[in-house]
Amino acid sequence: MSYFFTFLVGLVLIGLSPVFAGDEESRLSPVFVRGEKIVVPTKQTDEAVYTGQEITTKGIQLSGEKGKSSIYEVISILPGIVFEGIDPSNLATEQANIRIRGVRGYLGSMTVEGVPNYGGNPIGPRAYIYDTENFEGIAVYKGAVPADLGSSMGNRSGAIELHPLWAEKDFGLKASESMGMFDYKRSYVRLNSGSVGGAGTRFSLSYSYAAQKKWKGPGEIGPRDNFNFTFVQPIRKDFEIKVWGNLNEIEHNKYRYLTYGQLTDLGKNYRLDFNERLTAPLHLYYEFNKEYHKNRDLLVSIKGSIGENIKISLKPYRSKEDANIWDGSQGITFNKQTKPGAIKRIRDIEREGILADISCDLGVLKTSGGYHHESSDMNIYDENYWINPNGSLTYLGYGVFATSGTTHISSPYIKFAGTLDRLNWQAGIKYFEFKDSDTQGYRTVPDVNGNPVIQPAPYLDRKGETYKIWLPTTGVSYKFDESSELYLSYGRNYIRPYAYMPILRTYNRLYNEFVKQGITLNELFKNRSIEQSDYIDIGLRFRKEIIELSPTVFLSRHKNLLTVVTDPRVIDPQTNSPVNYQLNIGKANGYGLELGTNIFISDWLSFYVNPTFSKLTYDGNISFSGKELPTDGKQVVDVPKWIVGSGLIVKLGDFEIVPSMRFVGKRYGDSDHDEAISSYSVFDLKLNYHKDKWAFFKSVSVSLEVDNIFNKKYVSIINAMDDAVSGTTYGVGSPFFINGRITFTF
């Protein structure tokens, strides 16, 4: 089915309808900085209770150079969010980590105007494919998620909604140039056509280029090329069509992760990285550890009204992702020989879908409903190679290969909202159905000459499954006066089955052992199900002259979590112990407190501090290699109990000075808490100068940023699943880094 054909049909159906009113009703009061809006409470326009927070254009700018190509860097200013990377400019694509109230961010959703962005292996959003200058706001929902956001793969850790900076009515040109340490450079330009002709047609085009050398070890980060396009066509004052397109392409060498043993002397091993020359061990040569990503996304937004009270929206979209990711391997076995090698992970993903919504405002009652459908083809597989002494590669066929068919998502919803004097309320329910496809399994085996050939392997065949879940949401708020409001919200979030490749690799590695026991891969997948999380938020928004407080107590219960289990039927010959793999049997409980605090000391000085206490613990023990580990009640891997973000914003005429600090508390790299990771604090400084109407420029801005001022050495990434028992690796945070930027607008 072509959803762009549906788009054309939709034009006929709503051809006489008016444009939606703007989003102003969905955003509330400012957070800080001399009246400039940095963070505001937000909701969907057809809802009554503010359940999210939105970073405004000024807030996006406040994230500095590190936020130019990373959505996660921008939202890390909010309480309850920990974002950590390994690269000072955040260009390294998937060598970063985010947690939202303790839950890994790749288990959450990201959308552009409600249209989902995600992929597989790993599942989750591609937060590195955008230039954040092309957005006017970024909304974050950490608890209950609005039903009309197309989450597709899931939203266990909440949802992020990106609001594009659409082509503007006035002509404009913006250009910036950035430079920094490690040969960092970035160029950005955006053109707005302004209204063209009498029909009000307008469009925008933007392009950016970025690249740098790695701050440790050999190799390059980039080049990264990003193109963005928007088109706006008013049909009449009551009908509008928008088109948004984005293309991002990047290649880069990886940074090396460290073992826990290497962390015991972090000063010595902080800059330990891949080998610059082809020496033993061969798999650590830097050219065998690299990534390439290409993402293309296109959506059409059609909005209008029927009469004064009924609003309709159609959003057809297409998305394509290609990626090649190389990882060196200490040993790859083929034809009874084990040698150092390289594994090439290949992603070829295509998605096509449509979101349709209709809402009706009856005054005392607002009602809305919609439907989301998506079909996707995810061809994801491994290729294995041996590394020869001269650096050439010997192809060994597929490591993990399974033909994938087309999967389908169907998700209708309905919700209601209303206001009774000072009381606002809303309630709704969403149904999510994911139809996985049948797959045929193949194995790579040696032929009579020892060359790799692919042959069918019935034990690797899988039958398609259908996964279903109901997702209720509700919320209520009471406004005491103009300065204070109390609210409560509940929502059920989810993530569909994921992490297919780990269990496929385990089954392939122990194929003969599983076959001897008569255990098919399909049997293991029958125990997969949807992960489910239930959230309750109780919060207060208080604003009074020089102070603003937004304390929030949050509670969560999680079940059907992907958790390691031991299967005594199969013995792993490498360990002489029962095999381990993951099933959806785990549980966890969480609670915590966020306290967003903003103090307006004067009209030129503001202070913010956002502490968060978070407790997320295992509900039950974990079995591993035939043993039961005492994990019940222990904090989940990589979840610090305390995080704090804080900073000053000083405005002196055209100058702005922003010193900031982030603190991440102690955490653990394994579920048994044997691998403790110390807390750390990192200090940054931003200096900005902005002048309007200078010479023939509309404005000129100059920025200087200093990150990790005191060159703190710390662990920034724990590379492990939430149920990790062993084998965790760690990434270190980037060192002292200076960059500068100059921006002109015409």
Residues with Cβ within 8 Å of 228's Cβ and at least 6 positions away in sequence, in order, are: 130, 131, 134, 190, 204, 205, 206, 207, 245, 246, 247
As a whole number, the mean pLDDT across the chain is: 92
Tell whether the model's pLDDT for residue 4 goes beyond 50: no
Condensed to tens digits (0 to 9), the pLDDT of residues 318-357 reads: 999 999 999 999 999 999 999 999 999 999 999 999 999 9
Task: Quote the CA–CA distance of 281 and 288 in Å, as a whole number.
Answer: 12
DSSP 580: E
Task: Quote the CA–CA distance of 685 and 15 in Å, as a whole number.
Answer: 52
Tell whether the model's pLDDT for residue 29 goes beyond 90: no
Dig out the tokens for 311 from the structure: 């609003």
- What is the bridge-based pairing of β-strands 159-164 and 109-112? parallel
Residue 77 has a CB neighbour count (10 Å cut-off) of 25
Tell whether the model's pLDDT for residue 315 goes beyond 60: yes
Least Cα distance to 252 among 206, 297, 277, 215 occurs for 215
Q: What is the DSSP string of 524-538?
A: HHTT---EEEEEEEE
**Which residue is associated with the tokens 């880069």?**
252
pLDDT of residue 161: 97
Q: Which residue has the higher pLDDT, 25 or 175?
A: 175
Q: Which residue has the higher pLDDT, 197 or 219?
A: 219
Least Cα distance to 552 among 80, 44, 74 occurs for 80
pLDDT of residue 694: 87
Tell whether the model's pLDDT for residue 5 goes beyond 60: no
pLDDT of residue 31: 43
Per-residue pLDDT averaged across 430-438, rounded?
Answer: 96
pLDDT of residue 9: 34
pLDDT of residue 513: 96
Dig out the tokens for 686 from the structure: 């931003």
Write down how long the chain is.
Answer: 746
Sheet holding 96-100, edge to edge: 81-85, 96-100, 103-104
- What is the bridge-based pairing of β-strands 715-719 and 729-732? antiparallel
Q: Which residue has the higher pLDDT, 32 or 621?
A: 621
Task: Quote the CA–CA distance of 403 and 439 in Å, as a whole number.
Answer: 5
pLDDT level of residue 15 (50, 70, 90 thresholds): very low
- pLDDT over 70 percentage in the chain: 95
Residue 306 near residue 10, CB atoms below 8 Å? no
Task: Quote the CA–CA distance of 154 and 109 in Å, as a whole number.
Answer: 6
Residue 307 has a CB neighbour count (10 Å cut-off) of 10
Q: What is the DSSP string of 285-304?
A: BGGGSEEEEEEEEEEEEEEE
Q: Which residue has the higher pLDDT, 16 or 284?
A: 284
Per-residue pLDDT averaged across 574-578, rounded?
Answer: 91
pLDDT of residue 403: 66
Q: What is the DSSP string of 352-372?
A: EEEEEEEEEE-SSEEEEEEEE
Q: Where are the domains of the chain?
A: 3-745
Q: Quick one: 172 exposed, middle or buried, by C-beta within 10 A (0-12, 13-18, 19+)?
A: middle
pLDDT of residue 402: 66
Task: Quote the CA–CA distance of 705 and 703 in Å, as a whole number.
Answer: 7
Residue 37 near residue 62, CB atoms below 8 Å? no
How big is the chain by its Cα radius of gyration, in Å?
26
Least Cα distance to 94 among 68, 124, 74 occurs for 124
What CATH topology corresponds to 3-745?
Maltoporin; Chain A (2.40.170)
Residue 338 has a CB neighbour count (10 Å cut-off) of 11
CA dihedral 70, 71, 72, 78 (to 10 degrees): 130
pLDDT level of residue 37 (50, 70, 90 thresholds): confident
pLDDT of residue 36: 67
| 394 bridge partner residues | 386
Condensed to tens digits (0 to 9), the pLDDT of residues 155-202 reads: 999 999 999 999 999 999 999 999 999 999 999 999 999 999 888 999
Strands annotated E in 114-267? 115-117, 135-141, 159-164, 172-180, 184-192, 202-213, 220-236, 239-253
Residue 67 near residue 132, CB atoms below 8 Å? yes
Residues with Cβ within 8 Å of 374's Cβ and at least 6 positions away in sequence, in order, are: 116, 150, 152, 351, 352, 353, 354, 408, 409
Q: What are phi and psi of 381, to 5 degrees?
A: -160, 170
pLDDT level of residue 696 (50, 70, 90 thresholds): confident
Q: Quick one: 593 exposed, middle or buried, by C-beta within 10 A (0-12, 13-18, 19+)?
A: middle
**Which residue is associated with the tokens 């599942």?**
123
pLDDT of residue 19: 30
Condensed to tens digits (0 to 9), the pLDDT of residues 57-97 reads: 999 999 999 999 999 999 999 999 999 999 999 999 999 99
Per-residue pLDDT averaged across 676-688, rounded?
Answer: 97
| 225 bridge partner residues | 209, 249
Query: CA quadruple 661, 662, 663, 668: dihedral positive or negative?
Result: negative
- Helix, coil or strand: residue 454: strand
Dig out the tokens for 235 from the structure: 């049909």
**Which residue is associated with the tokens 């659409």?**
166
Tell whether the model's pLDDT for residue 578 goes beyond 70: yes
Condensed to tens digits (0 to 9), the pLDDT of residues 493-537 reads: 999 999 999 999 999 999 999 999 999 999 999 889 999 999 999
Per-residue pLDDT averaged across 525-550, rounded?
Answer: 93
pLDDT level of residue 18 (50, 70, 90 thresholds): very low
Task: Quote the CA–CA distance of 53 and 39 in Å, as a whole number.
Answer: 6
H helices of 34-108, in order, are 57-62, 71-75
Dig out the tokens for 500 from the structure: 């297919």
Q: What is the reported pTM?
A: 0.93
Longest dimension (CA), the chain: 82
**Residue 355 identity (one-letter amino acid):** L
Residue 661 has a CB neighbour count (10 Å cut-off) of 15
Task: Quote the CA–CA distance of 417 and 424 in Å, as a whole number.
Answer: 8
pLDDT level of residue 474 (50, 70, 90 thresholds): very high
Per-residue pLDDT averaged across 651-659, rounded?
Answer: 95
Residue 188 near residue 206, CB atoms below 8 Å? yes
